[in-house]
Amino acid sequence: MKKMLLLSIGILFSFAMVAQEAQPQAQPAPNPNAPVITFEKTLHDYGTVPFKGDGKCEFKFTNTGKEPLILTNVRSSCGCTVPKWPREPILPGASEVIQVEYKTDRVGTINKSITVQSNASNNNVVLRISGQVLAETQSAAPEKPKSVGEK
């Protein structure tokens, strides 16, 4: 009898926990004065870049909100893309840049993303870079053709 009572209590407790988790949580009202990060562009196309060429670009943004904007993290999708961003708060109406450098010592297509995290109402913005790194050109002089019998 004790086992049935404990089993019944356990089942009731489990149902109560599941029902509690299923209740939607109330979301806080959005802050109408929150900072807003507005980028001039979210895609930079390098076009074709020579091997070990210039892989630098900038993404200019403005705080179009009513409170100071703080960038909490800016991270790239891989180690070949290095972002630099302002660490101090950006006042309303002020503009700044995120500098990005792609290491062009990798031949092939460029298709990388940079995620910008901040205290803005649009707190996660994804920037993209694209393009093509051309193969390294041969700089050595062509070999002299060998004559017949020469090894």
Q: What is the DSSP string of 28-58?
A: PPP-TT---EEES-SEEEEEEE-TT---EEE
Interval 53-64 mean pLDDT: 95
d(CA 112, CA 110): 6
Higher pLDDT, 4 or 128: 128
Q: Tell me the per-residue pLDDT of 88-110, one tens digit each, with 9 for 90 and over.
A: 999 999 999 999 999 999 899 99
Name the average pLDDT for the chain.
Answer: 84
**What confidence tier does 1 reach under pLDDT thresholds 50, 70, 90?**
low
Query: With bands split at pLDDT 50, 70 and 90, how would you rate the model's confidence at 138?
Result: very low
**In 10 A of CB 122, how many CB atoms?**
14
Average pLDDT over residues 58-66: 96
Mean pLDDT over 24-45 rounds to 86
Q: What percent of the chain has pLDDT over 70?
A: 73
- CA-CA distance, 114 to 105, in Å (whole number)? 19
Structure tokens belonging to residue 9: 């209590």
The answer to whether the beta carbons of residues 45 and 130 sit under 8 Å apart is yes
- Say what the pLDDT of residue 31 is: 84
84-88 own/partner pairs: CB under 8 Å, 24+ apart: 85/116
Q: State residue 151's pLDDT score.
A: 55
In this predicted structure, the answer to whether residue 139 has a pLDDT above a threshold of 50 is no
Report the C-alpha dihedral over residues 76, 30, 35, 45, rounded to 10 degrees.
40
The answer to whether residues 110 and 46 touch, using CB atoms and an 8 Å cutoff, is: yes
